[in-house]
Amino acid sequence: MARYVIEGARVFDGDRLIGVRTVEIDGPRIVAIDGPVSPGAESVDGRGATLLPGLIDAHTHADVEALGHALRFGVTTEFDLFSFPQKMAETRRAAAVRHDIADVRSASVGMTAPGGHPTQLRGNQDDPELPTVGRPRDAARFVDERIAEGADYIKVLIESGKTLGKDVPVVDGRIVKAAVIAAHERGRMVIAHALTIDATWEALAAGVDGFAHLFVDGPHTAGMIEALVDSRVFMIPTLTTLASITNQGFGAEVAGDPRVVGRLPEAWMDNIRGDFNTFPSGDFGAAIASVRAMHAAGVPILAGTDASHLGAPGMAHGASLHGELQLLVRAGMTPTEALRAATSIPATTFGLDDRGRIAPGLRADLVLVDGDPTSRIADTLSIRGVWRSGTPAAR
Ligand SMILES: [Zn+2]
C-alpha cells in the first residue's frame, strides 16, 4: 500500500485544533505527526485546508450503496441502528474488503412490538418477518439472537407512532428492561429509539445507555435534563430527522448546497429534498433548545442523521451528516464541539479506539477540507480529499 504525507494543513485531532502539522500515512495507519518524512511517500498539499478524522454518522440504516455515498462525503464509519441480518452480513463483508465504501457497525434488527415500528413505514419493501418478544423472560433470547447475527449493540424501539402519522403497538417497558439487563450481562450497549417525552422516560426507567433520537413532541424540562445527566446516557438527536418530521425543509437546504449538487444519484437528491411531514405541529425550535440544554448540562451529543433507504425523506448518507453538524451548531455547540460529536465522541462512546482521532497508530480515516471548520462548520463540505484506512477515495 502507498504512503502519503499530508503537508501544510491545520489538523483537528478529534479533540481540538493542534496547528499546522505534517501527517504521514503508511498503508492503513497514521504513522507519524511531524516525523521525518519517509522517502517515497507521496506528498499531498494541505495548504489552506484542515485535516479531520474521518467522520462518523452515529445513526443510519446502511447498505453497500449507502456506504459508498457516505464515503464520498468524508463519512468513514456509519453506526447502523436497524438492519435485517441477511443484508447486513453482505454489507459487513463488503465493508471488510472494499476501500470505496465506509466501514459499518450494526445493531442488526431492533426490538419492537409485533406490528410495531418500523413495520408501518416499510409497506412494500418485502422484508423478512421481524423477531419480537412476547414476555420479559424471552428478552435474553432476543439479545442472544442479535449477538449471534453479529450485533455490536442492541436497539430497542419505544414508538407509539404519535409523531410518525400512524398509531402502532408499543413494546412493553418490562420487556425493554429485561433486554437491557440481558444486553449488559453480555457486554452490549442498548440504544433506544424514542421520539416522545413519554418514551424517553420509559427508556430511562429501563436503564438504556443512549438515545437514537431526541424527543420532538414538546419542550424539555429541567427534570428531564437532570435525569439524562444522572443516567449518564448519550444523545444522538438526529435533528436532520426531526426537521423532516416537522416539515422544516432542511434536507432541501443541504441538497441545494453547490458542494452537494450532482454528487448523488438523482433519486437520492430527490430523497434528501423531501420531508416526512408526519408531525407538522411539532416545534423544531423546541428540539433545538433541548439539544442546547442537554449539551450545556454535559450530556454527550453524537452526530447522527438516521439516513436510511430511498423513501425515508429529508436525508442522504454522507451529505446529511454535514447538515447535522450545521444544526448542532445552531443548537449552541461550537464548531469544534460539533466536530467532536462526529469524531472522537462517537468513537469513544461505541468503544472504537482505532478511529475518531488523528494520532500515530490509528486508522488512516481522514478528510481534508478547504478552510477551517473549527471556526466555520459549513467548511466540512468543502472536501478536497478522503482517505479510508489509508486508501484515497475517488471524488
Ligand atoms: Zn433510524
Is there a contact between 213 and 242 (Cβ–Cβ < 8 Å)? Answer: yes
Which residues neighbour ligand 1 (ion) by CB within 5 Å?
A: 81, 306
Cα-Cα end-to-end distance for the chain: 19
Residues 47 and 27 in one domain: yes
Q: How far is the CA of 317 from the centre of ligand 1 (A)?
A: 12
Q: How far is the CA of 46 from the centre of ligand 1 (A)?
A: 36
Residues 5 and 103 in one domain: no
Residues 197 and 161 in one domain: yes
Q: How far is the CA of 122 from the centre of ligand 1 (A)?
A: 13
- Write the CB contacts of 121 (distance below 8 Å, at least 6 apart in sequence): 164, 312
Residues 199 and 329 in one domain: yes
Q: How far is the CA of 76 from the centre of ligand 1 (A)?
A: 18
pLDDT in the model for residue 115: 83
Q: How far is the CA of 81 from the centre of ligand 1 (A)?
A: 6
Find the CATH number of the domain harbouring 20. Answer: 2.30.40.10
Q: How far is the CA of 356 from the centre of ligand 1 (A)?
A: 22
Q: How far is the CA of 148 from the centre of ligand 1 (A)?
A: 21
Q: How far is the CA of 61 from the centre of ligand 1 (A)?
A: 6
pLDDT in the model for residue 1: 62
Q: How far is the CA of 188 from the centre of ligand 1 (A)?
A: 19
Q: How far is the CA of 34 from the centre of ligand 1 (A)?
A: 40
Q: How far is the CA of 111 from the centre of ligand 1 (A)?
A: 13
The pair phi, psi for residue 6, each rounded to 5°, is: -95, 115
Among residues 352, 368, 383, which one ends one of the domains? Answer: 352
Residues 66 and 205 in one domain: yes
Q: How far is the CA of 25 from the centre of ligand 1 (A)?
A: 34
Task: Return d(Cα 213, Cα 201) in angstroms, integer.
Answer: 13
Q: Mind listing the pLDDT tens digit of every residue in the chain (395 residues)?
A: 689 999 999 999 999 999 999 999 999 999 999 998 889 999 999 999 999 999 999 999 999 999 999 999 999 999 999 999 999 999 999 999 999 999 999 999 999 988 888 887 776 677 788 888 889 999 999 999 999 999 999 999 998 888 888 888 889 999 999 999 999 999 999 999 999 999 999 999 999 999 999 999 999 999 999 999 999 999 999 999 999 999 998 999 999 999 999 999 999 999 999 999 999 999 999 999 999 999 999 999 999 999 999 989 999 999 999 999 999 999 999 999 999 999 999 999 999 999 999 999 999 999 999 999 999 999 999 999 999 999 999 87
Q: How far is the CA of 96 from the centre of ligand 1 (A)?
A: 23
Q: Is the dihedral of CA 150, 152, 154, 155 positive or negative?
A: negative
Residues 363 and 335 in one domain: no
Q: How far is the CA of 379 from the centre of ligand 1 (A)?
A: 26
Q: How far is the CA of 304 from the centre of ligand 1 (A)?
A: 9
Residues 78 and 217 in one domain: yes
Residues 138 and 225 in one domain: yes
Q: How far is the CA of 386 from the centre of ligand 1 (A)?
A: 26
Residues 269 and 298 in one domain: yes
Q: How far is the CA of 199 from the centre of ligand 1 (A)?
A: 15
Task: Return d(Cα 360, Cα 363) in angstroms, integer.
Answer: 9
Find the CATH number of the domain harbouring 120. Answer: 3.20.20.140
Q: How far is the CA of 186 from the centre of ligand 1 (A)?
A: 23
pLDDT in the model for residue 130: 85
Q: How far is the CA of 83 from the centre of ligand 1 (A)?
A: 9
Q: How far is the CA of 308 from the centre of ligand 1 (A)?
A: 7
pLDDT in the model for residue 123: 65
Residues 67 and 166 in one domain: yes
Q: How far is the CA of 286 from the centre of ligand 1 (A)?
A: 21
pTM above 0.75, yes or no: yes
Q: How far is the CA of 13 from the centre of ligand 1 (A)?
A: 28
Q: How far is the CA of 305 from the centre of ligand 1 (A)?
A: 8
Domain limits for position 70 = 55-352
Q: How far is the CA of 335 from the centre of ligand 1 (A)?
A: 25
Residues 157 and 219 in one domain: yes
- Write the CB contacts of 6 (distance below 8 Å, at least 6 apart in sequence): 22, 23, 24, 25, 44, 46, 51, 366, 368
Q: How far is the CA of 62 from the centre of ligand 1 (A)?
A: 10
Q: How far is the CA of 155 from the centre of ligand 1 (A)?
A: 10
The pair phi, psi for residue 14, each rounded to 5°, is: 105, -20
Residues 73 and 111 in one domain: yes
Domain count, the chain: 2
